[in-house]
Structure 1
Amino acid sequence: MNYRGSSAYDQSEFFSNYLKRRDRKDSPNNAIEGPIIYELIGDFTNRTVLDLGCGDARFGKELLENGAKQYTGLEGSKQMAATAIQQISGMNGEIHLESMESFHYPQNEYDLVTSRFAIHYVDNIQKLFNNVHHALKENGKFVFSVQHPLTTSSFESKKAGDRRENWIVDDYFIVGERKEPWMDEVVIKFHRTIEQYFQALVRAGFQIVDLREGEPKIEHFSNEEEFKRRLRIPVVLAFSCVK
């Protein structure tokens, strides 16, 4: 079966397996993407935050514990949203069981909009970026990460298993839907080039102030072998933009 958006996380076994993988210190989320996102965000003290595809909201909890004024998370999976609600219980935050595509974006509401490894599930990024621009206050910041387009261009090399030792880059300029074998299921993602992300942001009215491709740093890894493997190809693409 093919799963779109966050629907795969409503499968109990998939959800459980994901959380185990996500908690690994040397996972790309923790060893590569996390440090970059915090660096791009900078000071978030007393900021109102909207998080698109918030998952279990552990990120939201960290933001609130470290000075964010208010946190709103959007999550389309019932199972993931329930976990997120528990995660920030008693804190100044809220979780909406809603996708980032269907959410009604208020005007000039947020100081910071974030999204971590979620926008590659979205087909129409131009509409999404327009909505984010609408929802940000003047000089507000939009910081997000996606799976690097070099890895979403083709999932042919994953047929041998989730842990890739070689990467096939193919059909790079053929954008659109891709089917990724992942944890014994198939999830739908949308491939687009770095240039297309850049152009969509500019058309939405953003000023792009930084771009990162997730160069690994040894201090974030507990395993030197995994660090060296991650030096071979970028797995993260992150943008920092200002309204």
Structure 2
Amino acid sequence: MNKIYYFTGTGNSLQIANDLNEKLSQCSVHKIAKYSGEKIDTKTLGIVFPVYYWGLPLVICDFLCKLDVSENTYIYAIANYGGLPGKALDQCEHILKEKGLKLSAGFLINMPGNYIFGYGAKSKKVQEKLFEKESKRIVDIYDCVKTRKESKIEKSHAVIDRLFYNSFYKHINEFHEADKYFTVDNNCIGCGLCAERCPVDNITMVKGKPSWNHHCELCASCIQSCPNKAIDYKGKTKKRKRYLNPNVKL
């Protein structure tokens, strides 16, 4: 049996998980946020996630710390990024090592950027090129996983990337409370898509409006999913072009 656990805000990690799942036999795909620490019985375990602030999302750190698998499980990780990959795979390897587990392979995949707090969505042409590259990378990853091949953890070749990790990742612990900066205007129609798609169930609908519960991952799924662009963050995102992966259903 093969299992893949993923975390996604706008669909990139889900696409990677689904694409790999289609190639692996006897495989199943699971949401990382639903994992509560039970023993995972599997021959290979894939962990798919986005890079946040040049490192691991908090929900991934929590998952790795709770992870319960046998020592002979082949564990591999796939980090996808829109800008630079930072040290997310290094972190993953370190946390697993502290638990007496081994990260047997780590892969980096460049996907369409979705960091709406800093920029709008890339053009369709750029997105399509990245999706084409992703499909080729999936073939390489599949070849590695099917034979349980031990390989070097992929790393960024940009020195500035490693420096950014040291400067920015220390702010990751502020993410849970950062949802206090979300605002909702009168364009909200109370559809509830933001709450439905929040990957960590951090949103509750109160009197037809979203209310955040301070366990945010800053994935921006709520902003990206809002059909009326009613949700904003610090007044920065209102006019930016939204992004949702067109190849998956959230």
Class of the TM-score when normalised by the shorter of the 2 chains: 0.3 to 0.5
**What TM-score does the superposition give when structure 2 sets the normalisation length?**
0.32
**What TM-score does the superposition give when structure 1 sets the normalisation length?**
0.33
Larger strand fraction of residues: 1
